[in-house]
């Protein structure tokens, strides 16, 4: 994958929130996902675009 496409602009990340909880998201570089700890969901990033749909998110196990 192109390295530029796998990065998330830190300014954009500050503005984005989980669509379910409206809580903060963190970027997981290893999995290329935006993670909502509160919702225990990880939203995929495809071709540099965050897919912010709960139906597309992966559940995170503790």
pLDDT tens for 19-53 read 999 999 999 999 999 999 999 999 999 988 899 99
Contact, 41 vs 18, CB < 8 A?
yes
Length of the chain: 62
3-state helix, strand, coil in the chain (%, to 5): 20, 30, 50
pLDDT at 10 over 90: no
pTM for this entry: 0.83
* 3-59, CATH topology level: N-terminal domain of TfIIb (2.20.25)
Domain boundaries, the chain: 3-59
């Amino acid at each position: 994958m192109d390295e530029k496409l796998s990065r998330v602009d830190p300014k954009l990340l500050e503005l984005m929130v989980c669509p379910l909880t409206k809580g903060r998201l963190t970027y997981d570089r290893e999995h290329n996902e935006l993670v909502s700890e509160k919702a225990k969901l990880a939203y995929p990033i495809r071709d540099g675009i965050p897919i912010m749909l709960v139906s597309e998110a992966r559940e995170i196990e503790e």
